[in-house]
Amino acid sequence: MPELRLSQAPAHVRHGSNIGQPLTRRDGILKVTGTARFAADNHLPGMLYAVIATSSIARGRVTFLDVEAAKHHPGIVDVMTPAHKPPLAVDPEAKTNPFAFRLDLLHSDRVRYANQPIAVVIAESLEAATQGAKLLAPRYEAEPARVGLDANESYVPPSVGLFNQAEVQHGDANAALAAAPMRIEATYETPAQYHNAMEPHGVVAAWDGDTLSLDMPTQGLVMTRARIAELFGIAPEHIHIRSPFLGGGFGSKGIAVGPQILGIMAARLVGRPVKLVLGREQMYGPVGHRSATRQTMRIGADRDGTLTAIAHHAKISTSTFDDFYEPAADASHPLYASPAIATSHEAVRLDIGTPLFMRAPGEATGSIVLESVLDEAAWACRMDPLAFRIKNYAEVEPMSGRPFSSKRLRECYAQGAQRFGWSQRPLAPRQMRDDAGLLVGWGMGTAIFPALMFEAQARAVLRSDGTGVVESGTHDMGQGAWTAFAQIAADSLGLDLEQIEFKAGTSDLPDAGIAGGSAHTATAGSAIQDAGAAVIAKLADLATRDQHSPLFGAGNAGVIARGGRLFRRDDETRSESYADILRRAGVNELEARGKGAIDPAAQANYAMYAHGAVFAEVKVDPELGQIRATRMVGAFAVGRIINPKLVRSQLFGGMIWGQSFALNEEAITDRRSGRIINANLAEYHIPVHADVGALDVITVDEHDPHVNALGIKGVGEIGVVGSAGAVANAVWHATGVRVRRFPIRIDDVLEG
């Protein structure tokens, strides 16, 4: 792969802190020039191409595959089927750990969802493999597909999300609702949504005996390596994964998925390197999605608008063969003060691929409903929606009573409202029009996302020439992580950016954990910071013990690392370069390792969240019903910001996704066949540039000493959470029509 070079740092920060500077992405030139090498860009000598044949039914069994017809096509090398495949060391249905989701690896003729892999054709060219897959002409014994939230019996799941309780109660919500002077009850539906990252899932696999080399996109290098090692019965150390660039992930690349494992199996079957990349339509089924939901919320309040009860129930879908439950109702836990809060979930098994983590899982689906019903309650009380939220501002976490590690949501409300011009908003709907006669509406939503952190490791080295190397198996999905990590690395070693070599993206580097839950910068960044501090401590020990060093005896006072030199903290006129310290000690390299780890005491004592407020304007044609989001302002308090330019980009992306949630995005399933009928980027609608109006982001200064050593909270997902509700509420304010099914359609607002 091409060497990654850091962008030149602006002169005014070259010898100051790199953290907090809006530096350009270090991989930007590689990407815009097409020289960044993604997994599918790799072409190995003797490589074959594999194409998956997928089911056209959602339930039943495959009764026939015309393997002979496929094999007789020129260029076909082999066809992998349930009857002809390499063995695995463990059952792909086994749940050996909570992240070992059940995989479809041709282990039976059963079909459990549309687009399930049923065979793999391996050929000398992609064209031959594609044609071979068509020639298989499968025949089926089909059974009626169970489609929709009412298609099967429901049950209470054992847990939701990451081991959260399916039912939680604080206070007596039913009694509080019965006594409340003002009550709102509303049911909302959100559709299934599918991961549509620019880069589809794929793998380039090459075996050498029991040694396996892989090019594949993954959000968790070491976890993915462990799962593959388990499936094939080899040592993890015998697997080398390269994943320097990901063209988006959104949660779908957090674990190894079935199609990637099939590519590895195909390479073992034929004894040659194999490339397998999913077609766009094949992304709809085997690699996860966001569950459809039906959510009922009941809210009680006093006449002055004080909340007395929140009851949030979510019905969610999962597959017939595995367990992933979208924690939608949990969105009502942390945000608004109420003496009684109850959340509950029920699930239904359908003939679909297993839902998985998708950007802001639970928070996105639950928040759009919570924020919409909060708006309904505000209107019932004839209160401004912002005033209603401030009236019910939670000073401590409502469910637990724990103090927040930091919370500047009030400032987000104030700064966002001022920038947007919220004070000019009329209370009643259908009161504003623009010069063209379009209805104008203003809505808002509150954003919240947990400040998560996992465990990670990093290695830092100072070299005798005064430069440094920092290594961690981090992942960059396009958010600019490598740039932010390089900034942390440079500061931790007290060096300029151009003096740092940052290594990432391969499985032989220290484990950086998983890039998920908006926690990657906090997780891997803390490990990088710790490794840098540890190696500087070793360097300081060398200098302060050396009688020939101007820093001799400074142990008690301490030293400061800056610009490739150590300075006495009590007398900065006395300093020495790293190179001189190492040279005199006769040391070529000084190495240390660092860890990023959760602080259990802080986790137990504080509620840790990022917060924000999003304000949206929409315009609606009163005759045609066309809706356009014309303006959005988001204000976010997200802890310490490593790179403002990258953070701004992430928050913009989240706000656009929120707009998409409210107005565009849904998978449409044929109820007869169980097939998704808009499984492409032409008919699965997401906003393009022409759909997105003016965007503005404010980052509110926030210092949090408890979340982690760097004070980072993460920004990847919070932008989605308040934005969808803000757009939906703006549509109501424009039209007076409260739409309780998403995405909002033209006919929904015309019905009013």
Catalytic residues: 717
305: left (phi over 0), alpha (psi -120 to 50) or beta: left
Structure tokens at 459: 């290695």
Beta bridge partners of 669: 676
**H helix runs in 677-717, sequence order:** none
The contacts of residue 12 (CB under 8 Å, 6+ apart) are none
- 657 HSE (CA, 13 A, CB side): 24
| Alpha-carbon span 313 to 166, nearest angstrom | 10
Pinpoint the alpha helices (H) of 327-423. 363-380, 385-391, 409-420
Distances (CA, A) of 375 to 103, 388, 658: 42, 8, 17
Q: Rounded to the nearest 5°, which phi and psi values hold at 104?
A: -95, 100
Structure tokens at 603: 């986790």
Q: End-to-end CA distance of the chain, in Å?
A: 57
3-state SS, 147-195, equals CCCCCCCEECCCCECCCECCCEEECCHHHHHHHCCEEEEEEEEECCEEC
The rounded distance, in Å, linking the Cα atoms of 390 and 383 is: 11
Closest by Cα among 663, 613, 697 to 388: 613
Question: Could you give the 3-state DSSP secondary structure of residue 411?
Answer: helix
Residues 483, 642: Cα–Cα separation, whole Å: 9
Round to whole Å and give the CA distance between 147 and 152: 8
- The neighbour count for residue 97, using CB atoms within 10 Å, is 11
Measured CA distances, 347 to 150, 291, 313, 382, 608 (Å): 10, 10, 11, 36, 29
